[in-house]
Amino acid sequence: MNVEQKIRKNRSLGANIRRIRTQNDLTQEQMVARLQLYGITITRSIFSQIECGTYNIKVSELLAISKILRVEIGELFEGIDLPG
């Protein structure tokens, strides 16, 4: 997988997170506050980078996001094709 493919996949993941977050009427600031309750210490700027696909999200962050948004982890990966 080349860098461009990796970035494209991260952007898709970030776009899914943004879409679901806005469907839940949550701001980025509210997401960051809730993530901090799970022990995930990030800033709104980092969360913005997650949604833009420019930050390599950690598994713990991904799991907390899925819990906060009340979605199965797989829903965050919708539309992302695996190679092969």
pLDDT for the residue 82: 62
pLDDT for the residue 79: 85
**pLDDT at 9 exceeding the cut of 60:** no
Q: Is the model's pTM score more than 0.85?
A: no
Complete domains list, the chain, with CATH: 3-75 (1.10.260.40)
The pair of three-digit structure tokens given for residue 45, joined into one six-digit string: 């700027």
For 20-70, the pLDDT digits (tens) are 999 999 999 999 999 999 999 999 999 999 999 889 899 999 999 999 999
